[in-house]
Amino acid sequence: MGKLVEIRWHGRGGQGAKTASLLLADAAFNTGKYIQGFPEYGPERMGAPITAYNRISDDKIRIHSNIYEPDYVVVVDETLLTVIDVTSGLKETGAIIINTDKAPEDVKKHLKGYKGKVCTVDARKISEDVLGKYFPNTPMLGAVVKVSNVMGEDEFMKDAKESFAHKFATKPEVIEGNMKAIQRAMQEVKGI
Partner 1 sequence: MAIRERLSGNEAIAVAMKQINPDVVAAFPITPSTEIPQYFSQFVSNGAVQTEFVPVESEHSAMSACIGAQAAGGRTMTATSANGLALMWEMLYIASSSRLPVTLACVNRALSGPLNIHNDHSDSMGARDSGWIQLYSENNQEAYDNFIQAVRIGEHKDVVLPVMVCQDGFITSHAVENLDLLEDEKVKAFVGEYNPEHYLLNTKEQIAVGPLDLPNYFFEHRRQQAQAMMNAKQVILDVAKEFEKVTGRKYDLFEEYKLSDAEIAIVIINSTAGTAKTVVDELREKGIKAGLLKIRVFRPFPQEEMVAALKHVKALAVMDKAEAFSGVGGPLFADVKAALYGVADGIKVINYIYGLGGRDVKADNIELVYNELQNIVKTGQIGETYRYVGVRE
Near partner 1 by CB under 8 A, which window of 19-27, 112-120, 125-133, 167-175? Answer: 19-27
Cα gap 145→153, rounded to integer Å: 7
- Name the segment binding partner 1 (CB under 8 A); options: 21-29, 75-83, 112-120, 182-190: 21-29
The footprint of partner 1 on residues 86-115 (CB under 8 A) is none
- Give, as one character, the DSSP assignment of residue 51: E
β-strand 34-40 against 49-57: which pairing, if any? Answer: antiparallel
Closest approach of Cβ 36 to partner 1, in Å?
5
- How many residues sit in the footprint of partner 1 (CB under 8 A)? 19
13 touches 44 (CB < 8 A) = yes
Look at residues 152, 125, 7, 160 and name the one whose alpha carbon lies nearest to residue 74.
Answer: 7
Interaction between residue 159 and partner 1 (CB under 8 A): no
Nearer to partner 1, 34 or 168 (CB): 34
Residues in the chain, overall count: 192
Q: Please select the residue that binds partner 1; options are 2, 3, 48, 68, rule is CB under 8 A.
A: 68
